[in-house]
Amino acid sequence: MANCCEVCGKKTTFGIKYARRGAAKKRGGSGAKISGKTNRTFKPNLQRLRAEVNGGVKRLTVCTSCIKAGKVCKAIVRRAKPEAASA
């Protein structure tokens, strides 16, 4: 489960970053030219959280858009109660 949301399946996508040189024509230049292209990645904002799944608690890797949309129900943090001191 590398870099993938377990709820919606959002994962890393790929694109190209363009480096441009020159002023735009509307600013009085001769137009911006592409002087280089670099491959880049767009990674989802993934968070690990404890969620309730089928009545049990499970640790999931979920994107923040799923958390904001309420597609994941966070698990309640249960604190251990200290044992009653015998007098």
Q: Look up residue 55 and give its two tokens.
A: 């009545």
pTM of the prediction? 0.68
pLDDT tens for residues 60-77? 999 999 999 999 988 888
Beta-carbon contacts of residue 21 (< 8 Å; ≥ 6 apart): 32, 33, 35
CB 62 within 8 A of CB 5: yes
What is the DSSP-derived secondary structure letter of residue 15? E
- Which range of residues forms the domain containing residue 39? 13-69
Length of the chain: 87
pLDDT at 18: 96
- Whether residue 77 lies inside any domain: the answer is no
* Tens-place pLDDT, residues 2-57: 789 999 999 999 999 999 999 999 999 999 999 999 999 999 999 999 999 998 99
Domain count along the chain? 1
Residue 75: inside a domain, yes or no?
no
Which pLDDT value is given to residue 86?
A: 63
In a domain, 29, yes or no: yes
| Residue 23 lies inside a defined structural domain of this protein | yes
pLDDT of residue 87: 57
Query: Is residue 84 in some structural domain?
Result: no
